[in-house]
Amino acid sequence: MEIVYVYVKKRSEFGKQCNFTDRQAELNIDIPPNPELAELYVERNPVDTGIQCSTSMSEHEANTERIEMETRGVNHVEGGWPKDVNPLELEQTIRFRKKVEKDENYINAITQLGLIMEHCIKQNNAIDIYQEYFDDEDSVEVTEEAPSAKTINVFRDPQEIKRSATHLSWHPDGSKKLAVAYSCLNFQRAPPGMSHDSYIWDLENPNRPEIALKPSSPVITLEYNPKDSHVLLGGCYNGQIACWDTRKGSMVAELSTIEFSHRDPVYGTIWLQSKTGTECFSASTDGQVMWWDIRKLSEPTEVVIMDITKKEQLDNALGAISLEFEATLPTKFMVGTEQGVVISCNRKAKTSAEKIVCTFSGHHGPVYALQRNPFYPKNFLTVGDWTARIWSEDSRESSIMWTKYHMAYLTDGAWSPVRPAVFFTTKMDGTLDIWDFVFKQCDPALSLKVCDEALFCLRVQDNGCFVACGSQLGTTTLLEVSSGLCTLQRNEKNIASSGTLATTLSPRASLTLCAPDIRAGDPAGEDPGGQAPRDAAEGERQVGRQGGGAEGGGDRRGPGGAGGQGRGGVLRHHPVRAEEEGGGSLAEVQAPTTKSEA
């Protein structure tokens, strides 16, 4: 189709009429060819030349809106009772069954199928297809694969005002669910309108949380009940203990009274292995450890004051910031404090003072992580200041092994549940370190930059293959480690056992030994911990906690400790390096030293 546009114009606007006439052609200029100029030029050979005809473009980026997806289920039931039979009426169902059982087709079908089923049942009883012939043998798989980890999913805080992910808890039944506690640990610096909700995520749906948990105060720690996966226990910022039942919805099912709760934020909650599955205990920076029964949260069933002077005075108590309990040792529990001291306790002692058995001192700041080795409970891991330390209950004077001092502050740590020689640590620079002291002692077997902001917490799934890390901006990253990091290696149990650990970590293994340094004029000796990266320490102090609990203020992730007492209970020692051939410092082992006053 031809496109025509008509221009309309008045005749008066045309101007003066033009009259054209024909005339003869005229020659204005004539330049004849000059043979002399032609001799000055040389004929050029053909040359291939490329020409860009299209418009030059540069790289452009466009940020599109994220499509939010949700999962919906449809329940379809096939078969059932006829419409004229009410399944809730017992007489109608009995009458219908008798009617069907008298049918000849039903009798013939049962007779024919019964012979086939009888043969299968006899065959199944004769052969046990699930019998294990090598129960006593450990499943050992030798792998030479380089340690690695890859990101599976990222779960972001759906709130506009971002909060820190302070604690993680895996679903106890092994299903793909992860509970994340969100809160702001900056005392009196929480922005107005900040949400208090924490969430339960489905690992296959990172777009929207599955369930929102709505507390009255931000939740700092959150734990699944190992006996009832529908029940969760939370420690709140205002010191209260909250309990949720996901079958009843998002609101708190049980809440402790504020008069009988902690006075500071609750940094540790653990379920006890009881017959009822309702007992738990909590720890706070107010210096108290409380036992609870969620069936009656009006007041605690027992209270222990963390006063290492055994005077049972709350003013002298050390603020608890981490908690440890092993089901195989039901009478023992351990508490990590803000002053860098680990307190070992016995719950079955008669008096509160006798419940504090002993202390372990070695960190210059708060002990953010405390966990026993799942294979050898006498050995336990602590994380604080710039190092992670491995201790043994048989050696109370000092740790038996520790990592080097890092430039960034360490915030959390955990053992691998499937490998006794592997543990994980997180740092303020957003790095996840995976240590394997069978493979390498000097440096981490794998160091992975997870995010740009600080990592605050981590949790390893029971199968050891997945690790979840929570960051300062509320981002939870799910990582899958390589098979070599989650598969038991040959002779690993013997190497990691408490009986052979000291033998393995010998000078012949190129380790750094530490001996007491008691010299004239300097009884305490020089503290190598004091030579830690000071610039990094000063930088972290701007981010870290500057006071204890709700009174000191600030974030708990920092070297300051309670009210700036971050260096309480420090072991002073001096390193003496082993002069073994081919050695370098792979790790550090400390001989018994004298303790300074905590």
* pLDDT confidence of residue 534: 36
Strand intervals (E) in 108-230? 149-155, 164-170, 177-183, 198-202, 211-213, 219-224
Angle in degrees, CA 160, 166, 168, rounded to 5: 105
If one counts every other C-beta atom within 10 angstroms of the C-beta of residue 434, the result is 22
* pLDDT confidence of residue 13: 82
* pLDDT confidence of residue 355: 86
Contact present, 473 and 453 (Cβ < 8 Å)? yes
Nearest CA to 336 out of 367, 313, 291 is that of 367
154: tokens are 């990222």
The sheet that has 279-284: what strands, in order across it? 266-271, 279-284, 288-293, 302-305
Q: Token match 């799910």: residue?
A: 478
3-state secondary structure of 498: helix
3-state secondary structure of 485: helix
* pLDDT confidence of residue 181: 94
* Segment 96-132, tens digit of pLDDT: 989 889 999 989 999 999 989 999 898 888 888 777 7
Helix axes 104-126, 90-101, angle to 10 degrees: 90
Mean pLDDT of the chain: 78
Strand intervals (E) in 228-319? 231-236, 241-245, 254-255, 266-271, 279-284, 288-293, 302-305
Exposure string for 208-235, b = 16+ CB within 10 A, e = fewer? ebbbebbbebbbbbbbbbeeeeebbbbb
If one counts every other C-beta atom within 10 angstroms of the C-beta of residue 102, the result is 9
Name residue 268's beta-bridge partners.
Answer: 283
DSSP 66: P
CA 374 to chain centre: 18
Q: Token match 């205990």: residue?
A: 281
In Å, what is the CA distance from 210 to each residue of 65, 224, 247? 22, 15, 13
Distance CA 312, CA 353 (A): 6
564: tokens are 């700036």
Whether the per-residue pLDDT at 75 is higher than 60: the answer is yes
Whether the per-residue pLDDT at 552 is higher than 60: the answer is no
Distance CA 550, CA 265 (A): 7
Q: How many helices (H) and strands (E) does the chain have?
A: 7, 31
Helix ranges, 394-505 (H)? 492-496, 498-504
Exposure string for 333-358, b = 16+ CB within 10 A, e = fewer? bbbbbbbbbbbbbebeeeeeeebbee
Q: Among the listed ranges 138-142, 419-423, 539-543, which one has the minimum average pLDDT value? A: 539-543
Whether the per-residue pLDDT at 55 is higher than 60: the answer is yes
φ/ψ (deg, to 5) at 233: -115, 135
pTM of this structure = 0.64
DSSP 319: P
275: tokens are 């017959």
Distance CA 36, CA 22 (A): 40
The proportion of the chain whose per-residue pLDDT surpasses 90, expressed as a percent, equals 28
The sheet that has 254-255: what strands, in order across it? 219-224, 231-236, 241-245, 254-255
* Segment 346-373, tens digit of pLDDT: 888 877 778 888 889 889 889 999 999 9
Confidence of residue 501 (pLDDT cuts 50, 70, 90): low
130: tokens are 């699930």
Contact present, 337 and 320 (Cβ < 8 Å)? yes
DSSP 347: T
* Segment 407-457, tens digit of pLDDT: 999 999 999 998 888 999 999 999 999 998 888 888 899 999 999 999 999
Name residue 515's beta-bridge partners.
Answer: 574
The full set of domains in the chain, from first to last, is 149-506 (2.130.10.10), 513-590 (no CATH)
Listed in sequence order, the residues at least 6 apart from 333 whose beta carbon sits closer than 8 Å to its beta carbon are 270, 281, 289, 323, 324, 325, 345, 347
The proportion of the chain whose per-residue pLDDT surpasses 70, expressed as a percent, equals 80
Listed in sequence order, the residues at least 6 apart from 157 whose beta carbon sits closer than 8 Å to its beta carbon are 163, 165, 182, 473, 474, 475
* pLDDT confidence of residue 431: 93
Distance CA 240, CA 218 (A): 10
* pLDDT confidence of residue 367: 93
47: tokens are 């040359």
Whether the per-residue pLDDT at 526 is higher than 50: the answer is no
* Segment 201-260, tens digit of pLDDT: 998 888 889 999 999 899 999 999 988 889 999 999 999 999 999 998 889 999 999 899
Distance CA 102, CA 97 (A): 9
Q: Among the listed ranges 32-41, 55-64, 216-225, which one has the minimum average pLDDT value? A: 55-64
* Segment 289-343, tens digit of pLDDT: 999 999 888 889 888 888 888 888 888 889 999 999 888 888 889 999 999 999 9
Higher pLDDT, 286 or 493: 286
Listed in sequence order, the residues at least 6 apart from 174 whose beta carbon sits closer than 8 Å to its beta carbon are 462, 463
